[in-house]
Amino acid sequence: EIVMTQSPATLSVSPGERVTLSCRASQSVSSNLAWYQQKPGQAPRLLVYGASTRATGIPARFSGSGSGTVFTLTISSLQSEDSAVYYCQQYTNWRGTFGQGTKVEIK
């Protein structure tokens, strides 16, 4: 099973600042990497897939990069509504595994 590891576990950032979240795979997943945002009491929402393709309706301040085993989600200018837990997921096959999540808090 491919293990996904996210860092940091929690991030506290001021509005307008740049945020960088990291995700590492235990083996290469090529570009089969997605990022999801989950707010309290809500279902996850797809932000990025294919490591760098924004999903429909996702603001341009969200961007993904990386390939192989190291990936990054960047929020260029944090907005208050971006407070959430962010998960990465590899989907090289039918058994997609998730990272443990990074919680982004607003200062």
* Residue choice 21, 29, 32, 84 for contact with another protein (CB under 8 A): 32
Is 94 a binder of another protein (CB under 8 A)?
Answer: yes
Please name which of 57, 87, 59 lies closest in space to residue 73, comparing C-alpha atoms.
87
Is 40 a binder of another protein (CB under 8 A)?
Answer: no
Number of residues that bind another protein (CB under 8 A): 24
* Closer residue to another protein in complex, CB, 61/103: 103
Give the span between the Cα atoms of 67 and 59, in whole angstroms: 22
Binding site residues, another protein, CB under 8 A: 32, 34, 36, 42-46, 49-50, 55, 87, 89, 91-101
